């Protein structure tokens, strides 16, 4: 019988990864309220926003406003995505507890996503990581497409190992093993994690699974069996990568917590409050969707 961790820490990426792909603007006030509801539910790590050019990700254009509006708690870690030195420098005034840099285990995805090779992407991040660590800011590395790529197909574990080694080499402190397009299955996920462990111990590895084929909870269980106790998920299952065609949302935080509690694993999260947070953001997005549909119908009739 498998031995599972007694407790799990979850990073909710909903405010950033979950909302970045929404076509209609989500006001900063709603994003701030979502962060507050997540921390009220017991989340101790929240990925709040991304300091990326609004030209590429318009939804994150209010990053500084959102960070300034969050009523922080001393026991909660607030992270932000920084795609380059310019993004990092823009984030500093917001005083993030952690920055997130990223790289892909797929050369094709790296070229499509950030127009450079894997090695070049890590070279770009090296000064960002150095600056953050010098400023006392923690650094996490997101490793995308660790089991599958929309352009290359299946990804060999050796490519994951290559990326993990590069991340370790520039000083990244912990990494996410991400199934960006949700094509992973339990054994493939375990092989990707195994490829990471020579460079990062299990306490510094987290699972990040999308649910395109309904495998995210199975993959979470497979990672738990390896001793992984850090996971990322998104409230209400929101999200999807803008550069990964067909990728659906992240696994829902509510589903992960329900499963973990059912296994007797502690999370420190109040499931009822978490569900309320999911209803809050889902209701808002549904109203926005209904509004867009109504406008489209009016325009069609007027035409």
Please give the torsion angle defined by the CA atoms of residues 182, 186, 192 and 196, in that order, rounded to the nearest 10 degrees. Answer: 120
CA 70, 274, 97, 238 dihedral sign is negative
User: One of 116, 145, 149, 241 is an active-site residue; which one?
Assistant: 241
> Is 149 considered catalytic here?
no
| 78 phi and psi angles, rounded to 5 deg | -110, 120
What CA–CA distance (Å, rounded) separates 81 from 120?
18
Residues labelled as active-site residues: 241
């Amino acid at each position: 019988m498998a031995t599972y961790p007694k407790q799990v820490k979850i990073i909710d990426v909903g405010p950033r990864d979950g909302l970045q792909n929404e076509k209609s603007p989500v006001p900063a006030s709603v994003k701030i309220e979502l962060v507050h509801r997540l921390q009220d539910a017991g989340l101790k790590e929240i990925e709040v926003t991304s300091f990326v050019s609004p030209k590429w990700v318009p939804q994150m254009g209010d990053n500084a406003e959102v960070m300034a509006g969050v009523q922080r708690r001393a026991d909660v870690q607030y992270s932000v995505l920084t795609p380059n030195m310019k993004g990092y420098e823009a984030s500093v005034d917001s005083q993030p507890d952690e920055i997130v840099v990223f790289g892909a285990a797929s050369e094709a995805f790296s070229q499509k996503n950030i127009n450079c090779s894997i090695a070049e992407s890590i070279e770009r991040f090296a000064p960002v990581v150095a600056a953050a660590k010098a400023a006392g800011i923690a650094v996490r590395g997101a490793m995308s497409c660790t089991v599958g790529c929309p352009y290359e197909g299946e990804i060999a574990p050796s490519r994951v190992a290559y990326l993990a080694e590069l991340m370790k080499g520039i000083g990244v402190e912990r990494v996410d093993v991400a199934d960006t397009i949700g094509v992973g299955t339990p054994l493939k996920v375990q092989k990707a994690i195994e490829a990471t462990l020579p460079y990062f111990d299990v306490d510094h590895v987290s699972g990040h699974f999308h649910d395109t084929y309904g495998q995210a909870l199975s993959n979470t269980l497979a990672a738990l069996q390896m001793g992984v106790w850090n996971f990322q998920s998104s409230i209400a299952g929101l999200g999807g990568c803008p550069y990964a065609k067909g990728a659906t949302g992240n696994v829902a935080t509510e589903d992960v917590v329900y499963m973990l509690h059912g296994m007797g694993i502690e999370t420190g999260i109040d499931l009822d409050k978490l569900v309320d947070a999911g209803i809050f953001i889902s209701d808002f997005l549904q109203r926005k969707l209904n509004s867009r549909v109504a406008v489209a119908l009016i325009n069609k009739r007027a035409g």
